[in-house]
Every structure is written in C-alpha cells, then in structure tokens.
Structure 1
Amino acid sequence: MNNTKYLYYLLCIVVAFVSCQSTPKETKSKQPNLLFIFPDQLRNAGIGINNQDPVYTPNIDQLAKEGMLISNAVSNFPLCSPYRGMLMTGKLPYHNSVLSNANSNRYKYNNSWQKEDVSFSDVLVKNGYDAGYVGKLHLTSPPPIPDKDTVIWDAYTPKEFRHGFNFWYSYGTFDQHNTPHYWVNDAKESEVTYINEWSAKHEADVIIDYIKNPSEKTRNKDKPFALFWSVNPPHPPYQYVPEKYVAPYKNKTLSELLVRDNVDLEAAAEALAFHKGATRNHTHLAKEHVKNYFAMITGVDEQIGRVLEALKEQGLDKNTIVVITSDHGEMMGSHGLMSKNIWYDEAINVPFIVRWPEKIKGGQKNDLLLSVPDVMPTLLHMMGATEGMPTDLDGTDLSSVILEGKGNQPKAALYYYIKEGQPASGHRGIKTTTHTFVITIDDDNTIREFLYDNVNDPYQLKNEVGEGNVMEGKLRAELLKMLGIKKDPWLNYYQSLQ
C-alpha cells in the first residue's frame, strides 16, 4: 500500500471514529421542560375551541391547535384538595389522606399532603429537574385556633412538606383575587408577601421572570424545569376581575351566556337534597355573575398567552411540554346547581390540552378517558423521568396513547364523593365515552342510582335507571369491579346494605 493510499485509509478510520463518538451527543434528545397550568374551577365547556360556552379564549385555543385536545379528561373527585392530592401523588383519595377540602376543621383527620408520599415533584427532582410551584396549593389542613370557631382555610406549607419544589411562590387557599398574598421560597410563616394586583396578572409576571431567569437565581439554568401554576380565577368570588375582561360580555343577556339546555335558574333541585356536596339554592349567583365567570376565563387566557410568548422568546417553546387543565368545573346554573362536587359533566369534565412540538403533532383531538391519577405517570414517562417513581400508583401510564396513538385506552373513569374523615362514605360512579352511572348512599343509608346516556342526552337531563336500559346492569357491574380493583373501602359498606 503506497503512502497516499495509506493516509487516505487512515483518514477514513479517523473520520468514522469521530463520527461514531459524536453521534450520540448530536442525536441525544434533551430532557423536555414542563409547564403545567391548572386554573381553578374551569370547566371544559368554558374553552372557546370547544364551541360550547360563548367565551373568548384565543391563546388557549391556539395552544390546542398546536397540540392535542383531550375531550374526556375527568376530575374524578371534583373538589379542590382531593384533585390536587391525586395529581401530586398519583393515588386516589383514600390512599393519600386527602379526602376533602383542606381546612382547620379537617386537621383532626390529617387531611393533608403526606410527607412520606413520594410525589410528582419528588420524582422530577430525582431525575434532574428544577421544580417550581406558583399559586394556590390547598393541600395543607392547618391546626385550629384554640377556643375559636373560626375555620382557617389558608395555610403555610413548611419547606420539608413541599416535596422537592425549590422555587416556591404559593399560598394555601384564599379568594381575594385582587389583593393576593404569598409565601416566597424560604420565607417563614410570618413573612408574607402582599400584592395589590389581580392574582393572575401578578403570577404571570412571576412565571415570566422564572422563564427568563435573568439573575439565574429563580432556577438552575443547567437543569430542565418543571413549573406548576395553579391560578385561582375563575374560582369565585366571580366579581374579582378587572373590568376590561368583562367588556365583551357586559351587554349580553343571560340567555346569550347560559346556553346549555340543562340550565335552570329557578329550581331548588330538591331531588338532589340528599347530596351534601351539591350546591343548591344559589343560582342567583349565575344570574349575577356568569359574565364575570367568563370574564375571568378570558383574563386568565390573556395571562397564559403572555407566559407562552415568553417561552417562545427564550427559545424554549419547542421542547417544553405545556399542559392546560383544571381541578374541576363549574355548574353555573345547570341542573339548578352552582359550584362543583357532583357527577354532572359541568363539574367533572375538565379541559386537558397538551402541546409538545418536538413530539406531538398539532391539531389532534382525542376522546381519551384521562383520570387525574393518570397524569403523574403519563407525564413522567413522556419526560423520561421515571427513576424513583412509586410502583403503587392508582394511575396508569398513557404516554404511548398520547405520543404514538398506541396502547390500551381506559374504558371508564371513576367518580367520587367522600365525606370528611370517612373513606368508606359517600357516592361512587363511572363515566365511559357514552354513559355516566352513579350509586349514591345518603346519611340514612338510602341507596339511589343514576344513569345517563351522554350521546343521546348530552345535557344529562333524563335518569334512565329502571327503564330497561341494558347499560344499567353492565355499568353497575363494571363500577363495582373497578372499585374492587382499586381497593375502595366504600365497596364493603355498599355490599353490607344490600
């Protein structure tokens, strides 16, 4: 072999070696960031792209067009604290101690986020993430004040109970949207930061600063981030909203705003008097405030738009998983009810939009029955952040369904109503893509059943129990089977009454 050929041969070997060495670095995908946004009390009907409520949400709509819109996301226990407990732990309420809304009356039941529950944020931190939380937490039941009947809702969460979140700009729960307060990072309980600004606007500013990270103090720039934002609006009081957001709705009539066929503003909903969670005799609030409720949604949408623009400006939008969802919906006069905590779709069907340009093709719609405990394992698998994830979760990893359109989809999602401190109490139900079936047990141990055909009766106006619908027996059997699999203590109580 002459020198020229030898040098050429040697060069080929060097090039091949260098190529082999550099390929993994060039092709290895960087861990995605996560921005998880969940406005409080935002029903799925309240997103403009769904063409149900006449509400203006251009930024959320655009996000849905750029990602996947999941139409059957279910808040299995449509109440603030139980939802948050399921989201953070991947476990159902009777497995994580958060059986009801956290406040001082529930302190005696230890109705709080448990320190020993390895949670969403714990796993993220173990897998190299910088984790942040902004806004309402509502997972700590504070101790009562001795010799006083005052119920304390807001609560300070000590650092050792924050499950790895190192950026903290949060509070327990309160509803003064125009004058919010926060505990910031290492602040002691007495060191409260008070703000004189609409909470959604202020929190968006905080998050934009977190994203831009100008001083490199809000987060570690060398780590991917996972930021959870729980913005309180559109939770009531509905009137706490800047006037500029009310303007598009101000001159509209009730019939132009409350367009659902099941709205009844005059009924006392007597048939639901047994259900202690159902908010009856308050439909005057719908008359007075539906325009404010929609205005808050529009205002939150604007702030979400500002945050998404900051992501884009920083070049982080392509490899950031953005999720928009909610802890539960709002009845707003449907079935003569207000608020949440009942099995109707206005309460349990929440938005779920996920955008990840690097992995999820835009413009997709999916009728996946996504339950709250599924969110933790699904997102952790999507992010490749599964080291240290507990093996006893109640949720299921549905990442392959979202990313590849493959894998088994759940056939049903469970519904819960549980009384404080009593895990075997209350009501249980099941929602499929076509039906809703519920069994209730009231304080007198009276059992009732409800069956709705959600395809032919989308507003759930007719209870078909006892009318020969073959789905009644099938869904009852499926519900009891699922409760058995999930080791629900309610099942033994129900069976003892048969």
Structure 2
Amino acid sequence: RSSINNKQIQHFRIVHLMMPFDERFNVEDHRYGISANKRMLKNYLRTFVFVTFAVFFVTCAEGSQMHTPDEDFRTELASLRSRIQSGGEMNTAIDESMKEKMNILFIMTDQQRFDMIGSVQEQISHYNGKTKVNTPNLDKLMKESTSFMRHYTQCPVCAPARSALSTGCTIERTGVQTNDLVNEDVYDLDSQLFGEKIQRMRSFDQILSEEQGHTCEYYGKWHQPKNLYYQSGSTNQERSIRYNAYDFKRNNPTFDDSVNVHQELLACIDASQDILRKGIIGPEQINTFNGFPYTPTKLDSRYGYPADTPLKPKSEGGEFKKWQTSQNAVIGRDSLGEELSSTHCLATSALNAMDRLISENRPWSLTVSFNSPHPPMVSTGEYFDKYWPLRDNFFVPPSINAEHMANTAYNPDRDPNVQDEGAVKEWMTSYYALVEEVDHHVGRLLQKLAEADQIKNTLVIFTSDHGESLGAHGRKGKTTFFEESVHVPLMLRLPGKIPEGKAIDIPTSSIDVFSTILDYVGCKEHDESDGKSLRRFIDETNHNNAHDNECVISEWDYREPTGDGDLTGTLGGTPNFMVVKGNWKLMIPKHAASPLKDQMYNIDHDPYEMNNLLGDNGLSASKEIIGKAEYLKALLHGWMERMDGSEGLYSDPIFNAGEGRGDIDEINLRRTWRRLPVWISDTKLVMGKPALVGSSYIRNEFIYIGRTTEGSLEVHSIVLEGTNSDLFSLSGFVAGNIEAETHKQVKVKFQSNDHNDLTGLDVRIRVSHSEGEDILIQLQGYVAGDKTSSEEKDEQAAVS
C-alpha cells in the first residue's frame, strides 16, 4: 500500500462502494476464483472496512474534496483493486499476459526541425566548423534506434500535424486542417466537412486502451480534438487517457480535457516554494507565457522599447501591429531558473507518470509532448548563457536573403530583421538552448526506463510535429513546404526487433507512425488508417508491389467554416500539396486557375531550395524538367485516388464547400508550365533495393508517360532491350493511345534469385511512339547508400 498515494486509495474505496454488489461479486470471482462462502464473507468484511476507511479518508482529505474525474475509470480501478488486495503483486493469468505486452513511450517536441540534433548536424557538411546543438541523449538514442533521415510531417501546422500523427489519417479525412478546428464550436459550424470527420477519428491510444488493455497517459501539449481523450464511440465519456495533467502542490496526477501547457506551467510555478522576482530590471519585459521578466533579443517585438511595455496591438491601445503580438514575437532569456521552465515542469509530470505506470505492472502508453522549441522562444539562463558567446559561429543558410522568394508562392516575414544575420543568430541562441534543455529531460526519461529494466519491452518513439524556418527564406515559423518547415526527425527504438544505428534515407510520412505502432504491438487488425507500417523499410521488405511506396505527400488547407456553408479564404490560396520522390519536390495549389506559382526543386543540387525550376521558369523549362513536374503530379493523382474513399474526399467538390471541381480534377487541370506532345518521367530509371519475397528478390518501379497538348499520342510499343533484359518484365500500359492531358503507367519488375543481379546492368526500355524518335530509358541498379551515380548527378545538375 505504501506505493499508492492516499488519494488513490480514497478514490478506489469510495468508487468500489458505489459499484453494484453483484458487479463487485462478479469481478472478484473472475479475477481470483474464490469459493462462494469465502467470497461472501470477504465481501461483507470488506464492505465494513471500506465504509470505515471511506469516512476516515473523506474527512481527512485536503479541502474535503473527493477526486472525482476518474469515478468510472475501470482500468484504474482494476489495477488498484489488484494491488491493494495482493500486497502489490500481480498474481493472475490475466495480469501475467498483460506483463508480456509492449509499452509505448512516445516523445514529441514541437517545432523541432530535422537538423536540430547534434549527431545529424555532424553528418551535414554546412555545419562543419560551426557551433552545433548539444544533444547527447538524442545522439545516444539515435545510435540505439532506426532513424528516418527523410521523414516529413503530413502538415506543417500544429493541430493538423498532431491529429494526423495520432490517427494515421490524411488531413482531409481527419477534418482538422487548421489549429482552430480542434474546437467544437468551430468544427460544428459545418458538420459534414469537419464535425462528422472529427468525431470518427480514432487514435492509437484509444485502440491500445480499448483493444489491448493499455493504461494510457498523455502530458504536455495536446492541440487535438477533445474526443480523442475518450473511448471511441463512448456515450458516457469513459476515458482512454487516464491522466493528462499534474497537481504540483499535492503531487497527484489529474485529468482535465481543457488543460493546456500554459496553464500547467503557471500551476507548476505557483507550487514553487521559492521567492520569485517579478520586478523589472534594465531592459526586461514581461513574458506573456509565464508572467515573469525576461530579456528580449533583437527579433523580439519589444526589443529596444521601454521596460515593461505591454505586448498589445494598436487596436487595444498598444504599440504594435497585430502580427507583432503573437508568440513568435517573444524571444530572449528568461529570468526564472531551469526548474520552473515549461520543459522541466512537463518532465516532472512525465517522470511521476513513469513511476506509477511501471509500478502497476500492466502495459502502458505514455506520451510526453514537449512544447519547446515552439514559441515563445524564451530559454532559461542555464542553457541560453552557454550559446550566447558562441552565436557568431552559428550556421545561417544563404536563403536568409529572400530575393528568391519572388519566384515562389510564399512571402518572406513582414519583419525585415528576419533577413538580418546578426538578429537571426541571437534568435538561434534561444532555439538551440531550448532544444538542449529538451534533450536533457529526454535523457531523464530514458534513464528511468533503463532503471526499471523496461527497455526491451518498450517501443520508444521520438519525433516532432513540424519544423521551424529559423530565418531560412527570410521567414519565422512553419506553414510552408520548405525543408526547414516540413522535414522532421523520427527515431524508433525496440531492442531485438528494430535495428540499432540504422539510417533510412527513403522519404517517409508521419501518417505511417500510427500503423507502425499498431504493427509492433500486435494490433494490426484494428488499423483502418491511411498510413502503412514503416516496418517495410526497417525490415527491407518493401518492393512497391501495387504502387510507389517511396513517395511522400504532405498537405495543408488553411480555410475554416464560416457557419453559412462557406469557407474562409479562397480555394488554392496557398500551396496545398507537397510531393517528394527521391531528390525531387513539387509544391502545388489545388485550384487549376490559382494565380500562385508552382514550385519544384532538386533537393540534392539545391538543398536550400532557392532555384524554383517552375514558376517564372515553367514556360521555358526543358523536357526533362517538364517530365519531372508531370511525374510528381501523377504521383499526387494516384495518392489522392487511393485516399479518396467512399465519401470522395478528394474528388467531390462538396469538401471544398462546392468551390471548384474536386481536388483530383483541379490538380489534373493545373499546369503552369509548357505543354508537350509527349513527356516521360525518367530517361534513367534507378531500381530500388530488392526485397526477398519467397525465394526470389523482387523490386518494382514505375514509369509514367503522357501528353499535355491537344490530340492523341499513339504508343506503338514499350519493350525491354539488353543482355540483362530477361531479369525484367513490363506490365500495365505497353501500347495504345494516350489522350490530351492524360498519362499512363508502366510497371517495371525485377525478379531474380540473386539480388546481385541488379548491379552492373545492361538493360533499357524502348518507347516507340507517333511523335518522333524512340525514347530510350536506361535502367540503373541499386547502389547501397546512394541511388544516384556521380554521372547522373552531373547530368541532373546540368539540367537544373
């Protein structure tokens, strides 16, 4: 009993008395198999003792308030009942089976981009000789994990990204396409477009709780619809998330479906016994997040203003424009110590949760969702002071000069100082400091897991919801499809099942994380998501059986319901889709007539994404560039068709409030580059690594061929040539007509008993057609660690 706090005992006894006698009788009989006479006697005696203890604890409870949020929470009751009656030991077959199930430790940061880990920076040449972020615990985790080096968020915005990550569903399917759409009063403005979708969402925690018997807790930033706290389809609001908050004064976990990280931080500070300074010294301002002084740096809106200037817009009698009063405008050094930061307070909640969950000897899922390094970017002196003298040696990308943004669909930040290298380096001081602070507490969580000897049966996941521009493209924040905003870290650790130190360079999507969790915990039968388990890359079993599994689509639509059947903003008012395949990336709006510029980059040769190959260059682009643009658009088309579902999420105009012709048709008709009588996706087709399927090594790739001018393209034949052609076969479209603004797909299959047959190839594909000379496509075998030969890189560079 000493391992269970008094409030839990009080809660258990009172609720047990509230249960119908027959229900208590049946539960006890099922769990312990007690004979009828002994059971009846024990129940009467227990009732007497429970009444006595209930009266005693209610009388003594602080404030005479019963902890009621968990009154009907059966999972906790069952666990506490077993522990109290058996002296803390699990002694039934049910509990033994529970012990064998896998735990989940899901660690997530907010706004941490892919390269903000020390060991990642060590691998990137432009960080050579530069000040690097110190993340020893994440570095160690990476060595113990499989890391996905080209992992992309489904949406570079908080709430849509988190909802997709939790459910494994596209933004169109979740209905959460903006931050405000987590609120019931917003999504209920249009039930069909948003409300019904949101109510149908099902998270991995809900599935683990309902189907696997996991005890699930979640601490930190939530930013998702409240219904994900509760059991799916629940009418009586039974919870899937047992606790999500912490009473720092009483050292008790609590639950509140409206809690947020700001409130949790204030509660943590309020519980402190320290005497805290609130008076202003020198140039300090008041941090709107914690209510205490901080010293602003150059990119803070109040930098250079008189001390204690209110952060208010002019419309409210303040000094600033509305955009200058957001969290993005609060940057500097905090006056509070590290133990009263949001990160430290969250770690306190999470470490207490780990103690409790581990002691219960049942499978558990714990999400620790750090708010950092999300704005306000005010870091404690312990970490800020470390980087401040090193700031001049930070790496700042050349894209800080935003001249290239004129040939994009995006704008640089309204604050011109975001293009000032010195100001950005001061900002980076806070960002690096916040990342290192998170790393410290990640280490504490992992150490706790090791001390409890639960490393082998706990799947550890580390990721972030989206990235941060940090001055790239002259911008703050996220909301773009540039690498800094959309490319995030992902590590998976599970000793004995997931390889240590493995790095996967294939593009992957955050909607696949949901399926991966269910796969490894043995719950695949409950996976109805849009994603697919990443085990296919971890175990190297992917061979692109039905379609290309190695391209990534991200999406965003900033519009919200107005309440009268319309949506705010305009269709295609921002780039809505990103397509990544290999080193190529396309950004495109979902409106054929949108005036925005389409964007395409070769990331290998243009890592800072400053040379848009479309936009102003689209009408003069080479055939090779046009072929890549059409190819990426064709991949997006295929993805939307697979995600469309019976509702027509991407084909029915109703999901754009009747505006336009549906996403699929709008994308098909969109073309801001020159038209060609024949285009081809590749003139050199790189075959990916084959997978062992049965007794054969198999790999499939796909070629696309199309026409965008009027009339019809007649393809006479598509055939294999070369001494190794017997290792390959073609299927799908191999001859016939292709009409204007359409395309066809050719499946290229390699099959052999020896995977080494895919090296040193002499094989090509000949396409004979009605528009001129035959097209020859050279097939190139997989090269470990790099799918692109130096010759091909030189050629691609020349094309770009």
The TM-score, its normalising length taken from structure 1, stands at: 0.79
Counterpart mapping for 1:395-410 below 5 A = 395-402=531-538, 404-408=539-543, 410=549
2:351 counterpart residue number: 208
Change (3 A) 1:188 1:455: closer
| C-alpha distance in structure 2 between counterparts of 1:90 and 1:163, whole Å | 20
User: What CA deviation, in whole Å up to 9, does each residue of 1:420-442 have, x standing for no partner?
Assistant: 23596442120123111111368
Query: What is the letter of the counterpart of residue 383 of structure 2?
Result: Y
Q: CA deviation at 1:318?
A: 2.1
Counterpart mapping for 1:237-276 below 5 A = 237-239=376-378, 241-254=379-392, 256-264=393-401, 269-272=405-408, 275=410
Counterpart mapping for 1:94-109 below 5 A = 94-102=172-180, 106-107=186-187, 108-109=189-190
Q: Does 1:415 align with 2:554?
A: yes
Q: CA deviation at 1:455?
A: 1.1
Partner of 1:335: helix, strand, or coil? helix
Counterpart mapping for 1:280-299 below 5 A = 280-281=414-415, 283=418, 286-299=424-437
Say which of 425, 433, 449 aligns to 2:582.
433
Q: Alignment RMSD, CA only?
A: 3.5
Change (3 A) 1:318 1:497: closer
Change (3 A) 1:461 1:367: same
Further displaced range: 321-330 or 199-208: 199-208
Say which of 86, 100, 104 aligns to 1:30.
100
Mark the runs of 5 or more structure 2 residues left unpaired by the alignment.
1-95, 270-339, 561-566, 645-649, 651-661, 672-800
Q: CA deviation at 1:157?
A: 6.9
| C-alpha distance in structure 2 between counterparts of 1:257 and 1:387, whole Å | 48
1:115 counterpart residue number: 199
| C-alpha distance in structure 2 between counterparts of 1:306 and 1:134, whole Å | 15
User: What CA deviation, in whole Å up to 9, does each residue of 1:229-255 have, x standing for no partner?
Assistant: 11101001112x21111133111244x
Counterpart mapping for 1:9-408 below 5 A = 30-51=100-121, 52=124, 54-102=132-180, 106-107=186-187, 108-109=189-190, 114-125=198-209, 126-140=211-225, 164-169=240-245, 185-187=254-256, 194-196=267-269, 197-213=340-356, 221-239=360-378, 241-254=379-392, 256-264=393-401, 269-272=405-408, 275=410, 279-281=413-415, 283=418, 286-390=424-528, 393-402=529-538, 404-408=539-543
Change (3 A) 1:242 1:93: same
Change (3 A) 1:129 1:337: same
2:611 counterpart residue number: 462
Query: What is the letter of the counterpart of residue 258 of structure 1?
Result: F
Q: CA deviation at 1:373?
A: 1.4
Partner of 1:414: helix, strand, or coil? strand
Q: CA deviation at 1:281?
A: 3.3
The size of the alignment, in residue pairs, is: 440
Further displaced range: 104-113 or 416-425: 104-113
User: What CA deviation, in whole Å up to 9, does each residue of 1:117-145 have, x standing for no partner?
Assistant: 2221111111121111111111149xxxx
Partner of 2:200: helix, strand, or coil? coil
Q: CA deviation at 1:484?
A: 2.8
Partner of 1:45: helix, strand, or coil? coil
User: What CA deviation, in whole Å up to 9, does each residue of 1:283-304 have, x standing for no partner?
Assistant: 1673541110010000000010
> Is the 2:98–2:362 Cα contact (8 Å) retained in structure 1?
no
Change (3 A) 1:27 1:170: closer
Q: Does 1:492 align with 2:665?
A: yes
Q: CA deviation at 1:329?
A: 0.3
Change (3 A) 1:163 1:486: farther
| C-alpha distance in structure 2 between counterparts of 1:70 and 1:471, whole Å | 25
Q: Hey, which of these two has a bigger chunk of helix by percent?
A: 2
User: What CA deviation, in whole Å up to 9, does each residue of 1:399-438 have, x standing for no partner?
Assistant: 2422x22224622111212022359644212012311111
| C-alpha distance in structure 1 between counterparts of 2:612 and 2:485, whole Å | 17
Partner of 2:398: helix, strand, or coil? coil
| C-alpha distance in structure 1 between counterparts of 2:208 and 2:583, whole Å | 35
Identical residues among aligned pairs (%): 24
Q: CA deviation at 1:30?
A: 2.5
Mark the runs of 5 or more structure 1 residues left unpaired by the alignment.
1-25, 142-154, 172-178
Name the larger-Rg structure.
Answer: 2
Change (3 A) 1:83 1:187: closer
Change (3 A) 1:106 1:494: farther
User: What CA deviation, in whole Å up to 9, does each residue of 1:255-311 have, x standing for no partner?
Assistant: x213333233x7694555x548x7553616735411100100000000100111111
| C-alpha distance in structure 2 between counterparts of 1:464 and 1:94, whole Å | 28
Further displaced range: 128-137 or 28-37: 28-37
Q: CA deviation at 1:224?
A: 1.1
> Is the 2:177–2:557 Cα contact (8 Å) retained in structure 1?
yes
User: What CA deviation, in whole Å up to 9, does each residue of 1:64-96 have, x standing for no partner?
Assistant: 001111101101211100011111221111111
> Is the 2:112–2:464 Cα contact (8 Å) retained in structure 1?
yes
2:691 counterpart residue number: none
> Is the 1:279–1:339 Cα contact (8 Å) retained in structure 2?
no
| C-alpha distance in structure 2 between counterparts of 1:81 and 1:379, whole Å | 20
Counterpart mapping for 1:464-479 below 5 A = 464-465=613-614, 466=618, 467-468=621-622, 469=625, 470-479=627-636
Change (3 A) 1:414 1:163: farther
Q: CA deviation at 1:28?
A: 12
Change (3 A) 1:242 1:39: same
Q: CA deviation at 1:480?
A: 2.4
The TM-score, its normalising length taken from structure 2, stands at: 0.50
